[in-house]
Structure 1
Amino acid sequence: MSIRIEAATIDDLLHEALSYLLAKGQRVTASRGSLLEIVGPTFVLTNPLARLSRSESRSKIFSALGELLWYLSGANQLEYIDWFIPNKYQDESTDHKTVRSGYGNRLFNWRGIDQVSNVIDLLRRKPTSRQAVIQIIAAEDIDSGETSIPCTCTLQFLQRDGKLHLFVAMRSNDAYLGFPHDVFAFTMLQEIIARTLNTEIGTYIHTVGSFHLYDKNEEGAKDYLNEGFQNIIPMMAMPTGDPWMAIKNVLDFEVQVRSDPFSAPPSMPGFWADICRLLSIYSLSKLIPQNAQVTCEKLAENMNDRAYHMFIDARISRMKKQNA
């Protein structure tokens, strides 16, 4: 029986998905441990701007943003993502320098092809094309001998009625850890391409072969469900116009703020300025000194988008405890 869950926010999708898994998931023993699994579900996010979980226990803006920028950098360097999510990808790197299954080079330089540019160029020439597909997993991944291969199969962008819809097909998806991050990154890419094409963002559809919850995360999933439903606070929309220069500036600032956390964010439109302030706050929060906390508080006061406040407040609270 096919499973289709449709909702306006990521929290509503996640709430229903985890409830279904815990109630009706089948026990499977996989290579990474025992898990509960449902096969072939489809998740429909009708408002992709509501891509941030508002959960107290699942609020992961900084790691989600880190993965997005890792992809947009076009690289697959382990050091880049380890800054945002320490140790998560260590076991997926055989040379301890790169992550073969990372999406950045597959999106922007796969066998010398920039697949994102290809999709944009195609939809400019043929707005109703059904060929705007980005391939992530490749035939050679299956027999590569690598312990980790991409979980995402394809991304298809479909432009209809003045909106850009995105269909993502995944072979495997961790419901508790991976799903919220994937929805964040892919809907951001959807909005970036929509802005590039001067169209609106449409619906996000996410289909999975194996959608699962590992035993080790069951208690965390139950705790999340016990929080109840969350407030709906979508992110503000990206400004109109081509976003790629702003993205370049954000990526450049991300490199700068690692080595100098007190660097002033560049002057940019509100949406992108907020992203830079988040990067500043994350880098500063790695420091204990009181002046880092004070700088974070000043940055928080200048945020344009109230959707970020709960994440920033949690970070500053952690700093206050360290400074106490």
Structure 2
Amino acid sequence: MLTAPNFRSVEGAYLALLQLASANFEQHIEARGNAAREVIGVGFRLPDPRQRLPYLATRKVNPVFQFAEALWYLAGRRDLEMIGYYAPSMRSSSADGVTLGGSAYGHTLFNATDGDTVSPFDRVLELLRTETDSKRGYLPVAKELAVSDNLDMACLAGLHLFVRDGRLHMVCHMRANDLDCGLLSDVFSFTMIQEYAAVQLGLELGHYTHMIGSAHVNDRNAERVRLVLNEAELRRAPQQFPFPAMSAETGPDMISRLMAHEELLRTNTVRYSADEVAHLDVDAYWQQAVLLFEAYRQIQHDDTDTVSRDVLDALHPGLRWLLGHKWAACATADDAR
């Protein structure tokens, strides 16, 4: 018997957990001044981790940030210069105004430390290539829980990778999860890390399981949660935009090239048409991220109230739908459907 229920996409899991924490919460807590409704010890499974995006107009998910954060992790970075551009609120969690600590999960996973010459991520991949049915493919992340004045404590405890029957499965262990604000971005990034690992190992993508110690909804977000649940209850059918598989060419070199284009766009050094993006040194899968960054560059830097139609038309329809519901500058006639 499965201990974590299956959901077709992250959207179903998100709605089920919001409903649980809103109507059947176990505790009302005040941790570090944040009043919240809490359920202890919950989880879910995504048989297809690629369905990592929710399509809820009220929630206004930001796919630009989600791709930026996933790439920030995969590049092993911890700087605010990049991630703060996409999420200025994260600057308040920095002790020095330059870097982030516990929440820079990629810095912990993808960089060698303590005199080692191999990153924890690469060390686990090496293990999984050589040890059949290993149970030791665990990547610990949270290390600073006892630091009382830490502004940026890791919510992710660790990622556990399993190779079974030619597929790479992953179990994510969360110390705590803000169900309304953090869950969606976490699942997006962690399933991207899982798929990235599967590509490096030459394996099919397996299922993703998300386990949470403290699952909570902050009181300050209760009204938005109510609106999201109302939308889900009243709509005729969920939006469905199946997302493609990560390209086989994806690896450290591809991530480096993507980050170079991201920086050029973030600093408004270049501007790309859709045709120019199609001829960049990144494959079609990752061109979608570049198109998102170009759309955001136009929103942030250009004196315009409309993002270029060629850029929007070149986007995957699910990403275009999300942009149109996040920013009026990206809205098209199709977004009302």
| Structure 1 gap segments, 5+ residues each | none
Q: 1:272 to 1:190 in 2, by over 3 A?
A: same
For the Cα contact (< 8 Å) 1:173–1:179, is it kept in 2? yes
Task: Say whether 1:42 aligns with 2:53.
Answer: no
Larger displacement relative to structure 2 (235-244 or 22-31): 235-244
SS at match of 2:14: helix
Residue correspondences, number: 315
2:246 corresponds to which letter in structure 1? M
Q: Which of 110, 113, 116 is the matching residue for 1:111?
A: 113
TM-score, with structure 1 as normaliser: 0.90
How many percent of aligned residue pairs carry the same amino acid? 26
State the shift of 1:147 in Å.
Answer: 2.8
Larger displacement relative to structure 2 (57-66 or 172-181): 57-66
SS at match of 1:7: coil
Q: Which of 163, 183, 187 is the matching residue for 2:187?
A: 183
Residues of 1 paired with 2:112 and 2:154: CA distance?
Answer: 13
Larger displacement relative to structure 2 (73-82 or 174-183): 73-82
Instruction: Give the superposed CA RMSD.
Output: 2.2
Q: 1:100 to 1:197 in 2, by over 3 A?
A: same
TM-score, with structure 2 as normaliser: 0.87
Give the corresponding residue for 1:286. Answer: 300
Give the corresponding residue for 1:299. Answer: 311
Give the corresponding residue for 1:317. Answer: 328
SS at match of 1:227: helix
SS at match of 1:6: coil
2:96 corresponds to which letter in structure 1? D
State the shift of 1:316 in Å.
Answer: 6.2
Q: 1:31 to 1:316 in 2, by over 3 A?
A: closer
2:38 corresponds to which letter in structure 1? E
**1:265-280 equivalent positions in 2, closer than 5 A:** 265=277, 266-280=280-294
State the shift of 1:73 in Å.
Answer: 2.2
| Structure 2 gap segments, 5+ residues each | 333-337
Task: Say whether 1:262 aligns with 2:276.
Answer: no
Give the corresponding residue for 2:335. Answer: none
Give the corresponding residue for 1:64. Answer: 66
Residues of 1 paired with 2:265 and 2:331: CA distance?
Answer: 21
Residues of 1 paired with 2:56 and 2:14: CA distance?
Answer: 10
**1:83-232 equivalent positions in 2, closer than 5 A:** 83-86=85-88, 88-101=89-102, 102-109=104-111, 111-112=113-114, 113-138=118-143, 140-143=144-147, 145-228=149-232, 230-232=238-240
Runs of 4+ deviating beyond 6 Å? none
1:239 corresponds to which letter in structure 2? S
Q: 1:320 to 1:218 in 2, by over 3 A?
A: closer
Q: 1:90 to 1:32 in 2, by over 3 A?
A: farther
Residues of 2 paired with 1:76 and 1:279: CA distance?
Answer: 19
Give the corresponding residue for 2:75. Answer: 73
State the shift of 1:207 in Å.
Answer: 0.6
State the shift of 1:302 in Å.
Answer: 2.4
State the shift of 1:235 in Å.
Answer: 1.4
State the shift of 1:127 in Å.
Answer: 4.1
For the Cα contact (< 8 Å) 1:11–1:53, is it kept in 2? yes
Q: 1:217 to 1:316 in 2, by over 3 A?
A: closer
